Amino acid sequence: MINGSRDLLVVSKFESLTDKELDRQLVHLNQILFSIESMNTYAVVNEVLDLNKYKVITKPHLVAQAIRQGTNKPFVFIYNKN
């Protein structure tokens, strides 16, 4: 099995998979997850709620900027739009 940087649980309807088939599925899963785990995607699906200024920041570039600043301001929250 190929060593990766994440733990994945693969559920299959088949009784058993060969090592080659399992490696192939893990490679595909890692490619899919790598492509969607970026700051741009994270900024699009999240919002910043600033209760100090009574603002909801939804623009992706401003959300990414607020996340990159990394300051822990009181009453400023990052939450998912879901």
**Domains of the chain, residue spans:** 1-37, 40-80
CA distance 18 to 71: 48
Give the pLDDT score at 69.
87
Burial 62-71, CB ≥16 within 10 A → b, else e: ebbebeeeee
Res. 81: pLDDT tops 70: yes
Give the pLDDT score at 5.
67
38-61: pLDDT as tens digits: 889 999 999 999 999 999 999 999
Give the pLDDT score at 19.
85
Nearest to 81 by CA among 63, 65, 67: 63
Res. 37: pLDDT tops 60: yes
CB distance 67 to 47 below 8 Å: no
Res. 4: pLDDT tops 80: no
